[in-house]
Amino acid sequence: MPPVRTLVVWCPDWPLVAAGLADRPAVVVAANRVIASSAPARSEGVRLGQRRREAQACCPELVVVGEDPARDARGFEPVVVAVASFTPRVELTRPGVCAIPALAPARYFGGEASLAEQVCDAAGAAVVAVAGAAGTAAPSPPCRVGIADGPFAARLAAREGMIVPSGATPKWLGHFPVEVLGLPALADVLGRLGIHTLGEFAELDESAVLARFGAEGGFAHRLARGLDERSLALGDPPADLTVCRELDPPADRADTLAFVAVGLAEELVGRLAPYGLAATQLLVEAETEHGESLQRWWRGDRPFTARAVVDRVRWQLEGWLQGPVITAPTAGVTMLRLTVADAVPDDGRQMDFEGAIAGASRQVERGLARVQGLLGHEAVLTAVPTGGRGPGEQIRLVPWGEEPGEDRGITGSKTARLGGGGKRASGRVRPGHRAAVVANITREAPPWPGRLPPPSPALVHPVPAPVEVLSSDGAPVGVTGRGRCTAAPSRLILPVAGSSPVGITGWAGPWPADERWWDPGAARRQARLQVLLDDGTAHLLVLEQGRWHLEATYD
Amino acid sequence: MATYALAGAPSLPDARPAGGLAVPGPCAARGLRPRLGPGQLPAGRILPVLPKLARLFPLGGLPRGSTVLLGPAAAPDPLPGSAFAASGTSGAASQVPGLTSLLLLLLAGTSSQGYWCAVVGLPELGLAAAAELGADLGHLVLVPQPGSEGRWQSVVTTLLETVDLVCLAPDTPVRSTDARRLSARARERGSTLVVLDSASTHGGVARGFLSGGPVRPRRIVARWPGPSDLRCAVRESSWSGLERGHGLLSFRQLEAEVDGRGAASRPRRGLLRLPA
């Protein structure tokens, strides 16, 4: 089956347009890495994948905002409406990128070139309107349109703003670097094998690629050859892949609907499971009391998990319910329907070619998702080692299911766990940079001078309690500018009512830490002191701004 | 309480406590196969622990479906009151620090073998220490704020159905009906429930006043009223390496005690040297 002729609309720097920051130096940051930047920021030397403070060093007046997919999706809705005036079958890849099938509209609108021009004008006007509402100027050009065979090639064509003639896509793809596949780990290995372009990758034998790189590599190989993203082995998905829920009373809040969507998504994913399938394209429909309806197609870079489905539903409905008055519905939503439009064989969460996936079984994922349903997404955490001096800074807590990110050179090993993981990874491709795999192998942590050697304290108090450290003559102990104690600590007073001073039988330090002195807002000067008390307990005290606090306990 | 020479005994994990203690079940001699009752569990029904802890447990590990209480040693109850004022006087036996380290060792043994662990409560758990003791942070799930009364029970229940080992650190007394229900759920689902009842130990009192801000210890009465199959306690703890003005906390020695029901009814003690 030949790939579908696809037109892709790509709005450059969409997260910044949605945040109203496109005309000044600004970046969007996730897990301390730049994932999107504005044109003025790029002209100052800011690059994707930089750390926040590297970017700030390039451009001191840089505005930094956090990642917010919901905001991006909300803002994108008018653009989708504009594109939908050409054909209702708009497919959203992510906020900022949407696609329509090009074949039939091209016939109606007078050829592909004419269609591309008209779509570009309409979408561009919508982008300018959104940017104006957000208080910024749209980037120039506000959006780009490309047409090629298959969504993957069309996305690349849109970045270059060109129309690839039908049938010429495989040859045209050949000159792109392998990094555009959005699989940094694979691109790194290929680079070391001497394969730098998609053309070279496509020349490899398919079965050999499959044997070496597994299902993911085989999929990438299909893309590189310009074939359809859909696997040929698949027949049509079974017919009953629709789940629907009537809402009574009607719901007019996106979070209420997202809650309903949780159950629907679980049901949908569960219904696909017996067929061994996972959804890659999804139709989300909502209908209100007054008969207004909104339907959107969503395509995932990876098969949708139940969580990813819920996210799409929430983005779509937030954009609709809180969007401009003209398009916003006038009544509550009474019906929510999810349909699987396309599915691929679900090869499960097997080891990918990195061999490094922490295989969370389906049972664990489902159970933890339920706990997140009870307590909120942020309540279930996993720990990722990171760099730092204090005992609490050496670990970063990441909500369950989110990408750990690559912080300070040490990565977690779960980058490929998420359905939507590829999207963010593709924004961070750094040609020539050794990718996460290498860091995983070497595990080389950068040095942190002034960091306390192990063993680390077993209890790190979230709110350090103020304490007083006294010398033998009862005077408070301080730390000099040269990092020495003014007197030998002899007694410790804890802030417990009625407690008497406890004798200090052993102490070491202080370890001074002068952190972020280049940033007045975040600068900290601290000194840490290990103490052993005469009741046998050991603690870590920290002095900051003349006050001692009990930071951690060696329990 | 007996004391022993800490220095000059480098192979202490194998050493038996010196005289003065009613030394219970010897550790190394009888190995990992203790005498068991007729209801003994097959090997797959046991969650692994670190080798240095294995001899403390009658089955060589944590039986699935059991409830393990990490609490104060079975000494006289501590006097409620200040955390530190009681030190050195009565109740000192129950105030021995080290329960959190014992918990981290259990988590390390289980998670490093690829089993999933969850910790409910205990926002102050030192995860860097966990990693140093060998825990696989990729298999450790944290729910530091499990919600209010009525909510945390369902969280723990869900986790018991989900992961292999759930550690619960209640910050208020658990009602006995809840405790019984959670134990029964663990038994039914074949997961292990570890309860950290550190309220009356040093760490727990520290938690009480440090996490919330008020200066009165709040959590002194937190208790696990329910059944427990195994009970782990720390009887002695000492640090070495830190002197007055020099050195570094480098080694610690814990004397752990495990007792419980059935095969574990004879308490077992062992010395642990950390890190080692």
Q: Which residue has the higher pLDDT, A390 or A460?
A: A460
Out of A412-421, A455-464, A540-549, B239-248, least confident range: A412-421
Interface test with B, best of A361, A384, A459, A479 (most B CBs within 10 A): A459
- The verdict on A201 touching B (C-beta cutoff 8 Å) is no
With contacts defined as CB-CB under 8 Å, which chain A residues touch B88? 534-535
pLDDT computed for residue B36 by the predictor = 40
> Does residue A150 lie in a domain region?
yes
Residue A222 contacts by C-beta under 8 Å, 6 or more apart in sequence?
A228, A229, A231
Q: A478 with A549, same domain?
A: yes
Q: A514 with A378, same domain?
A: no
Interface contacts A/B by beta carbons within 8 Å: 215
Neighbours of B35 (CB within 10 A): 10
Q: A140 with A19, same domain?
A: yes
How far apart are the CA of B30 and the nearest CA of chain A, in angstroms? 31
Q: What is the DSSP string of B140-206?
A: EEEES---STTTHHHHHHHHHHHSSEEEEE-SSPPPHHHHHHHHHHHHHHT-EEEEE--TTSHHHHH
With contacts defined as CB-CB under 8 Å, which chain A residues touch B201? 555
pLDDT computed for residue B6 by the predictor = 36
With contacts defined as CB-CB under 8 Å, which chain A residues touch B191? none
Q: A391 with A262, same domain?
A: no
Q: Which of A345, A376, A400 is the last residue of a domain?
A: A345
Which of B82, B104, B209 is opposite residue A458, by nearest beta carbon?
A: B104
Q: Which residue has the higher pLDDT, A349 or A223?
A: A223
Which domain CATH number covers A263? 3.30.1490.100
Q: A295 with A371, same domain?
A: no
Restricting to A residues 382-401, those with a Cβ less than 8 Å away from any Cβ of B are 382-385, 391, 394-395, 397, 400
Reported as half-sphere exposure (CB side, CA atoms, 13 A), residue B57 has a value of 23
Q: Which of A345, A379, A396 is the last residue of a domain?
A: A345
With contacts defined as CB-CB under 8 Å, which chain B residues touch A414? 138
Percent of chain A past pLDDT 70, that is, above it, reads: 84
Q: A10 with A114, same domain?
A: yes
Residue A377: domain span: 362-442
Record: contact A461-B211, CB cut-off 8 A: yes
Cα–Cα dist A47/A437, whole Å: 21
Out of A53-62, A525-534, B92-101, B227-236, least confident range: B92-101
Percent of chain A past pLDDT 90, that is, above it, reads: 8
Q: What is the DSSP string of A475-535?
A: PBP-B-TTS-BSS-EEEEE-SSTTPPPEEEEEEEEEEEEEE-TT-TTT-EEEEEEEEEETT
- Single out the residue of A229, A297, A277 nearest to residue A93, CA to CA: A297
> Does residue A279 lie in a domain region?
yes
Residue B51 near residue B276 (C-beta atoms within 8 A): no
Residue A105 contacts by C-beta under 8 Å, 6 or more apart in sequence?
A7, A86, A87, A115
Strands B117-121 and B165-169: parallel
Given a cut of 60, is residue A141 above it in pLDDT?
A: yes
Given a cut of 60, is residue A264 above it in pLDDT?
A: yes
The rounded mean pLDDT for chain A is: 79
User: What ipTM does the predicted assembly reach?
Assistant: 0.73
Record: contact B84-A536, CB cut-off 8 A: no
Which of B104, B129, B140 is opposite residue A382, by nearest beta carbon?
A: B140
Residue A508 near residue B245 (C-beta atoms within 8 A): yes
The Cα angle at residue B194 between residues B191 and B200, in degrees rounded to 5:
165
Q: A137 with A47, same domain?
A: yes
Q: Which residue of A has its CA nearest to B93?
A: A535
Which of B84, B215, B249 is opposite residue A502, by nearest beta carbon?
A: B84
> Does residue A26 lie in a domain region?
yes
For residue A284, the SS3 value is strand
How far apart are the CA of A459 and the nearest CA of chain B, in angstroms? 5
Residue range A473-480: mean pLDDT, rounded:
84
Record: contact A554-B147, CB cut-off 8 A: no
Percent of chain B past pLDDT 70, that is, above it, reads: 66
Cα–Cα dist A346/A274, whole Å: 10
- The verdict on B87 touching A (C-beta cutoff 8 Å) is yes
Neighbours of A238 (CB within 10 A): 13
Q: Which residue of A has its CA nearest to B143?
A: A380
Record: contact A454-B132, CB cut-off 8 A: yes
How far apart are the CA of B61 and the nearest CA of chain A, in angstroms? 22
Which of B137, B143, B201 is opposite residue A385, by nearest beta carbon?
A: B137
Strands A242-251 and A333-345: antiparallel
Record: contact A397-B142, CB cut-off 8 A: yes
- The verdict on A495 touching B (C-beta cutoff 8 Å) is yes
- The verdict on B234 touching A (C-beta cutoff 8 Å) is no
With contacts defined as CB-CB under 8 Å, which chain A residues touch B220? none
With contacts defined as CB-CB under 8 Å, which chain A residues touch B137? 382-385, 395
Q: A279 with A374, same domain?
A: no
Q: A119 with A76, same domain?
A: yes
pLDDT one-digit tens code per residue, B155-176: 898 899 888 899 988 877 888 8
Q: A162 with A75, same domain?
A: yes
pLDDT one-digit tens code per residue, B31-57: 444 444 444 444 468 888 888 888 888
- The verdict on A351 touching B (C-beta cutoff 8 Å) is no
Restricting to A residues 400-439, those with a Cβ less than 8 Å away from any Cβ of B are 400, 412-414
What's this model's pTM, rounded to 2 decimal places?
0.52
- The verdict on B117 touching A (C-beta cutoff 8 Å) is no
Tokens at residue B111, please? 């998670």
Record: contact B158-A367, CB cut-off 8 A: yes
DSSP character at residue A199: H
Record: contact B243-A535, CB cut-off 8 A: no
Omega into A455 within 30° of 0, i.e. cis? yes
- The verdict on B97 touching A (C-beta cutoff 8 Å) is yes
**Helices H / strands E in chain A, number of each:** 16, 21
**What band does B209 get if pLDDT is binned at 50, 70 and 90?**
very low
Neighbours of A362 (CB within 10 A): 12
pLDDT one-digit tens code per residue, A441-459: 334 566 777 777 888 888 8
Residue range A408-421: mean pLDDT, rounded:
33
Of A301-305, A338-342, A403-407, B249-253, the range with the highest mean pLDDT is B249-253
Which domain CATH number covers A96? 3.40.1170.60
Q: Which amino acid, residue B122?
A: L
Instruction: Phi first, then psi: give them for residue A539, nearest 5 degrees.
Output: -135, 165
> Does residue A219 lie in a domain region?
no
> Does residue A160 lie in a domain region?
yes
How many domains is chain A built from?
4
Neighbours of B233 (CB within 10 A): 26
pLDDT one-digit tens code per residue, B102-139: 899 999 999 888 888 999 988 888 888 888 888 888 88
For residue A345, the SS3 value is strand
With contacts defined as CB-CB under 8 Å, which chain B residues touch A366? 162
> Does residue A234 lie in a domain region?
no
> Does residue A328 lie in a domain region?
yes
Q: A427 with A512, same domain?
A: no
With contacts defined as CB-CB under 8 Å, which chain A residues touch B94? none
Residue range B86-92: mean pLDDT, rounded:
35
Q: Which residue of A has its CA nearest to B156?
A: A371
Q: Which of A173, A207, A222 is the last residue of a domain?
A: A173
Q: A422 with A483, same domain?
A: no
pLDDT computed for residue A409 by the predictor = 35
Give chain B's domains with CATH numbers.
64-274 (3.40.50.300)
How far apart are the CA of B274 and the nearest CA of chain A, in angstroms? 9
> Does residue A536 lie in a domain region?
yes
Q: What is the DSSP string of A411-476?
A: E-S-TT-STTHHHHHHHT--TTS--HHHHHHH--PPP-TTPPPSSPPSEEEEEEEEEEEEETTSPB
